[in-house]
Amino acid sequence: MHQIHLTESNRLESLSQTFKALAFQKGKNPFAKRVVLVPSAAFKSYLKMDLTQDENIGISFGMHLMSYEEGLVFLAEQFLEEKQPKKVPKLLDLTLLLQSMMLNLLSASAAGQHPQFLEPLFGYLGKKSAAPLKQNEEKKLYFLSKSLARLFLNYSRFAKPGALNFSGESESNFEIHLFNELFNPKSPWTTRIDKLSCPLKPAGCPQEMEIFVFAPFMTIGEVEFLKKISTKVPVEVFTLTPTSVLFDDVISDHEEARRKRKTPDDGSHASEKKNSLLANYSLLFRETQKNILDSTDTTLGLYLVEAAAREEPAWWELIQPEHLLVGRNEKMTLLKGLQTDLILMRVPEERLSIEEERLSIQIHEAPSMLREIEILYHELMRMIEQRRESADPLEPCDIQVFAKDIKQYEPYIKALFGSSNSVLKYQLVGERASPHPLVSTFIQLMELSFGKFESVSIVGLLENSSFRKKWGLTQGDLQTIRGFIEESSFQWGLNQEHKSRYFESKGFQKCDYDKSAGTKEDFECDVLQRLMGNASEEMGKKIEIKDAEVVASWFSILNSLQQELALFSSDLSKPIREWSSHLETLLERHFCPHDDKEEEALLFIRSKIRELHTLSRLSDDALCRFSTVYLYMKDALEGSVTNEREEDLNSVRFSSLLPHHAMPGKVIAMIGLEEKVFPGRDPQDSLDLLKKTKATFFIPKVSDIDRFLFMETLLSVRDTLYLSYPGRDSVGEECAPSSVILDLTYYLDTAFTLNGSIPSSMIAFSHPERRFDPFYFDESSPLKCISPTHYQEYVVSLQEKKRRAASPKEKTLTGAVKESVCLKDLSSFLRNPLASYLKAQGLRIPRHGEKVAEHPLEIPKKIKRLARKKLIADSDAKEPVPESLPWLSPPLFQEHHRMKLRNEKETALEELKNVGLVPKNLFTLNLLPYRDVDPIQEEDSLHIPGVLVRDRTLIHGSIEQLTPLGLVRIHTNFESEALSSLPALAASQMLVPEEARPPNRLFLLGKKKKGVVTLGNPEDYLACLVDIYFEGIQKPLLLFPTFLKPLAEKNPEGLRKAIEEAFNPHLENEVSDLLEWVYGSKESINVEELIEELSEKARLIYAPLLEVESIKKERDN
């Protein structure tokens, strides 16, 4: 009789080697079926690669590899006897089943009196009666179904057999009703725990079989199942463990505190000394060990310890005969010392000394997510360059990067690692990565049914080669079609009637806001007129006859999409099987694979559609709208097929952090380690029935799983562990570091010294906001923003730049020009005049969150932000960046700026259309800081000499989102955005002769307030503003935006109120800090004197805002 055999190790490489030895040892039947259960797709790839590279094996076939979840169900079907064969639903299957059941319940309720247990469901949907569902309510129901599906799967894994019997409660709780209906004895569905609890078949396995299980975490029910089938066939289980010591009695700080609360403190619960990192981050390892040890026949432990540990008595006395020493010629690093502490479970009573040249653990705080990726890129480049001449160089394929959700970082990764200037290739892989482009295009095609029939979205479909191939178009034809659209006014909508219906659906009282051309119908008429040569000059040039075929194909695409999407966008409800047939037709009609990868992606989409069709036959097949099917397909398709190519195997791999995704590698980076994100928090789910009963197994929390993932990552890294977090999130809110970082640095500080110092003072770095901050170029700075080679090039180029700047041949301002001012500086001054004053002095006060340390290099254990002195050098007052080196124009910033401008332009155009203003385009005007240059015309931009004010001051800078109607700005704060945009408006108006000027208008569009600001005389306004600016950078002027109106109106009470709000200690913003720096307290400001001094200046600045015309008036006019 067999029994489970367990192999545990602190390294995945050892588990893989043991597996190969057991699975392919001599004397074994080569035709035996080897069933291998793996915890992730990443580990599956790693295992197959390890097998193919093994000289003694050289193959990766002869095995049946499957996921751990699917493998358990497969084995149950092979060895266990069921009275009636039933299926175990997956998450998305269960979601659609629950959606169908609830739709049927609500449909039946609409025809008669609804049961009492449906009242909470009506409350969730915001319905007071059983009226038919609207489309948004059906979408809301889908997300509820998905949440319930996750809970039901948790019940299926963690509840004890028999604990899920809720008979007699169906009429009081709609969740219980759904559960009982779905898993009743006559249903074709069952829970996994019931599936695994069935008795063994009397007969043995029909063929010789061996079972190998790599398990990240195992419940008691899963262990009992494997123990049951181990009486029939051999079962080998492989688990990763952080320590060689049995640690089932080592509890976390949280468990210890909870135990003390439950029992009186009689002295028996005195805290024992323990390894805090191991205790707090190994709960799931500990539970797995506890569940499986009693069910094993024999246990093999492969515990690898660094050979350098023999040199340290504190480690040497803990080394046992079962420990295997590795790395005999390698020095101990901080990372290896930490891993040695874990495997030996050393309790730090003394600090061990570590000496290392290259930091094996690094912690980086970045000002933003964008800078976090840029810092990562250059740190990886530095690591590669430092190891280039070593015997074991670092390659991109040796680097793995993880985030809690990698999709949040995807735009920044693509902008930098995917740019043409990047020397590092990359891949986004894993379950949460972006899908194959063909899959993304198919999702985009389905999404068109919920949109406005926008030309931009339709042209986006043609970016995919398989879509173009199906319609017989080339890349050149795509450019031709883009030209047709740009020359016409086709923006969105089928016709004017379609536009009116859209406006009505959005709640507009009037539907005539957009009477201009711009629909598909108008576009077709326009193109046909141009093709026949009957078009006027305003409609554009004649279309050549050679482009007639492209025009025909484009019309066919538009008409085909109009007909097909009309069905999907309708309010019709159909059975799921009919929707699946429509989707298959949509796929076949619009896609033809271009290569093997696209063929694979097409087959994948088709398989998901067929799964949907199969599922409809096993469910009630309720009537639903297309929105339900779309949400299911989107979930099924996203993140399942990634765009991996063989030529990109030597690339940096980015992935979301999931169980067993961190494979052994030289460098592993974890990004986005901010508080509340990692470790995550459990949602307060009132629907969770397991929380209401004590009849459960151990149920891990989200935070437990995340700590397990961090420990798993720590065990997989071999050379460098890189951790980072953004100091501010995507909306500018300040972020604190994750407790993972705090716990790690606290442990390192108590257990080690690094190069004679506390580790946290050596490994933690806080980066400036800008890449070329002077701090990076200080010789004593531990940070460098670029790789060593580029750093030396920069220093040489900067010296050459300074030499050329001092040369008399250097271009200078000509004529009577005495000074120049950038529009950006004028805008900054209007937003915050005191900050501009400090900047002019080359200083600033510490930003919010920057703590002042007594010693500049001292960094507290709990990782505070980098702090220097009360007034510190302003990072904006930096040396000019050399223009001759192409790598100094950061592709990340270039791409990010282009994306930002594109998004702003699209938003501005959309907002203008919504209020009845439809300019053909928005363009950018670049005023150069010279007078003796020729204008340069580019796409959507014009470069011209700067504007001269009073024949002595040159105004230069960029003016974006300019239209013939005026200047357009999207705002979150009306007055602040209006003030900061007035200099650009004035400068743009001065370029046009007074008699030919369009209205001097500034359109401010926001969610709550929309208005138009009109500027009277741009020359006078800009001249006054320049005079005030030069005075304001010589002495502090309290011309804050909130002060301007009471100052201009000479309103003492209003000014006192504004000052009091600005000094509010709870705000802790830059304005309050600056005022405190200048005046100390609000009592120090004399309101009357301030009005006397600044009222005239405030009136000049604020005058355009005294009369603001609403957008409604603009429309009516």
- For 1065-1097, the pLDDT digits (tens) are 555 456 666 676 666 677 778 888 888 888 888
* d(C-alpha 522, C-alpha 515), whole Å: 12
Q: Is the pLDDT of residue 414 over 70?
A: yes
Q: The pTM is what?
A: 0.67
Given pLDDT bands bounded at 50, 70 and 90, which one contains residue 455? confident
Q: What are phi and psi of 332, to 5 degrees?
A: -75, 130
Phi-psi group of 462: left, alpha or beta (phi > 0 → left; psi -120 to 50 → alpha; rest → beta): alpha
In this structure, of 486-490, 741-745, 847-851, the range with the lowest mean pLDDT score is: 847-851
* d(C-alpha 460, C-alpha 454), whole Å: 10
DSSP secondary structure of 726-780? ESB-TTS-B-PBPHHHHHHHHHHHHHEEETTB-HHHHHEEE--SSTT-GGGG-TT
* d(C-alpha 634, C-alpha 632), whole Å: 5
Given pLDDT bands bounded at 50, 70 and 90, which one contains residue 349? confident
Under CATH, to which class is 1-81+200-240 assigned?
Answer: alpha beta
Q: What is the mean pLDDT of the chain?
A: 76
Tell me what pLDDT residue 1022 has. 86
Q: What is the token pair recorded at 293?
A: 């040890």
Tell me what pLDDT residue 713 has. 94
Element at 298 (helix H, strand E): strand 296-306
Tell me what pLDDT residue 272 has. 66
* d(C-alpha 655, C-alpha 709), whole Å: 13
Q: What are phi and psi of 530, to 5 degrees?
A: -70, -35
Percentage of residues of the chain with pLDDT beyond 70: 71
- 3-class SS letters over 180-193: HHHCCCCCCECCHH
Higher pLDDT, 867 or 594: 594
Reported as a single tens digit per residue, the pLDDT across 642-691 is 544 444 678 899 998 888 889 999 999 999 998 888 888 776 666 666 66
**Bridge partners of 1108?**
1013
Which of 833-837, 872-876, 1043-1047 shows the highest mean pLDDT? Answer: 1043-1047
3 state DSSP class of 347: coil
Q: Is the pLDDT of residue 876 over 50?
A: no
* d(C-alpha 173, C-alpha 171), whole Å: 6
Reported as a single tens digit per residue, the pLDDT across 1013-1064 is 777 778 888 888 888 888 888 888 888 888 888 888 888 888 888 888 777 6
Tell me what pLDDT residue 667 has. 96
Q: How many CA atoms lie within 13 A of 737 on its CB side?
A: 22
Q: What is the token pair recorded at 74?
A: 């497969």
Q: Is the pLDDT of residue 339 over 90?
A: yes
Tell me what pLDDT residue 618 has. 67
Q: How far is CA 67 from CA 37, 685, 839, in A?
A: 5, 28, 59
The superfamily CATH assigns to domain 361-433+646-682+698-777 is P-loop containing nucleotide triphosphate hydrolases (3.40.50.300)
Q: For the sheet containing 33-38, what is the strand order?
A: 63-67, 33-38, 209-214, 235-240, 4-9, 296-306, 323-326
Best CA proximity match to 743, nearest among 658, 851, 863, 657:
863
Tell me what pLDDT residue 402 has. 94
Tell me what pLDDT residue 493 has. 73
Given pLDDT bands bounded at 50, 70 and 90, which one contains residue 1110? low
- Give residue for tokens 């043409």: 420
Higher pLDDT, 541 or 550: 550
Tell me what pLDDT residue 137 has. 81
Higher pLDDT, 1115 or 99: 99
* d(C-alpha 524, C-alpha 526), whole Å: 5
Tell me what pLDDT residue 61 has. 57
| Angle subtended at Cα 339 by Cα 334 and Cα 344, rounded to the nearest 5 degrees | 125
- Mean pLDDT, residues 28-43 taken together: 83
Q: Is the pLDDT of residue 925 over 90?
A: no
Q: What is the token pair recorded at 414?
A: 């693509």
Element at 937 (helix H, strand E): strand 936-938
- Give residue for tokens 């085909």: 560
Q: What are phi and psi of 704, to 5 degrees?
A: -65, -45
The b/e string for 941-956 (b: 16+ C-beta within 10 A; e otherwise) is bbbebbbbbeeebbbb
Reported as a single tens digit per residue, the pLDDT across 354-393 is 999 889 999 999 988 888 998 999 899 889 988 888 888 8
Q: How many CA atoms lie within 13 A of 798 on its CB side?
A: 14
3 state DSSP class of 693: coil
Tell me which DSSP letter residue 448 carries: G
Q: Is the pLDDT of residue 881 over 80?
A: no
Ranges assigned E (strand) in 629-685: 652-656, 665-670
Q: Which residues, other chains included, contact 47 with Cβ-Cβ below 8 Å and sequence gap of 6+?
A: 16, 19, 36, 38, 60, 65, 214
Cβ burial of 431 (10 Å; 0-12, 13-18, 19+) is middle
**Bridge partners of 303?**
323
Higher pLDDT, 82 or 810: 82
* d(C-alpha 933, C-alpha 168), whole Å: 86
Q: What is the token pair recorded at 416?
A: 């930098």
Same fold, 1-81+200-240 and 361-433+646-682+698-777: yes
Element at 707 (helix H, strand E): helix 702-716
* d(C-alpha 557, C-alpha 591), whole Å: 12
In this structure, of 403-407, 773-777, 821-825, 834-838, the range with the lowest mean pLDDT score is: 773-777
Tell me which DSSP letter residue 262 carries: H
* d(C-alpha 600, C-alpha 416), whole Å: 28
Q: For the sheet containing 717-726, what is the strand order?
A: 426-429, 652-656, 399-403, 665-670, 717-726, 361-366, 764-766
* d(C-alpha 794, C-alpha 1069), whole Å: 36
Phi-psi group of 945: left, alpha or beta (phi > 0 → left; psi -120 to 50 → alpha; rest → beta): beta
**Cβ neighbours of 31 (radius 10 Å):** 8
Which of 31-45, 195-209, 815-829 shows the highest mean pLDDT? Answer: 31-45
In this structure, of 383-392, 694-703, 906-915, the range with the lowest mean pLDDT score is: 906-915
**Domain map (residue ranges) of the chain:** 1-81+200-240, 91-196, 361-433+646-682+698-777, 437-637, 891-1116
* d(C-alpha 38, C-alpha 68), whole Å: 5
Which of 265-274, 502-511, 556-565, 743-752 shows the highest mean pLDDT? Answer: 743-752
Tell me what pLDDT residue 848 has. 43
Tell me what pLDDT residue 628 has. 86
* d(C-alpha 546, C-alpha 553), whole Å: 13
The superfamily CATH assigns to domain 437-637 is PCRA; domain 4 (1.10.486.10)
- 3-class SS letters over 195-245: HHCCCECCCCCCCCEEEEEECCCCCHHHHHHHHHHCCCCCEEEEEECCCCC
Higher pLDDT, 621 or 976: 976
Helix 437-447 × helix 626-637 angle, to 10°: 170
Higher pLDDT, 38 or 180: 38
By 3-state DSSP, what share of the chain in percent is helix, strand and coil, each rounded to 5? 50, 15, 40
3 state DSSP class of 289: helix
- Give residue for tokens 């007035």: 982
* d(C-alpha 782, C-alpha 265), whole Å: 49
Q: Which residues, other chains included, contact 801 with Cβ-Cβ below 8 Å and sequence gap of 6+?
A: 879, 880, 882
Higher pLDDT, 751 or 857: 751
3 state DSSP class of 1091: helix
CA torsion sign for 55, 60, 61, 65 is positive
Counting every residue written for the chain, the total comes to: 1117
* d(C-alpha 801, C-alpha 696), whole Å: 71
Radius of gyration (C-alpha) of the chain in whole angstroms? 34
* d(C-alpha 35, C-alpha 205), whole Å: 13
Q: How many CA atoms lie within 13 A of 136 on its CB side?
A: 5
Q: How far is CA 318 from CA 231, 322, 346, in A?
A: 38, 11, 8
Ranges assigned E (strand) in 358-435: 361-366, 399-403, 426-429
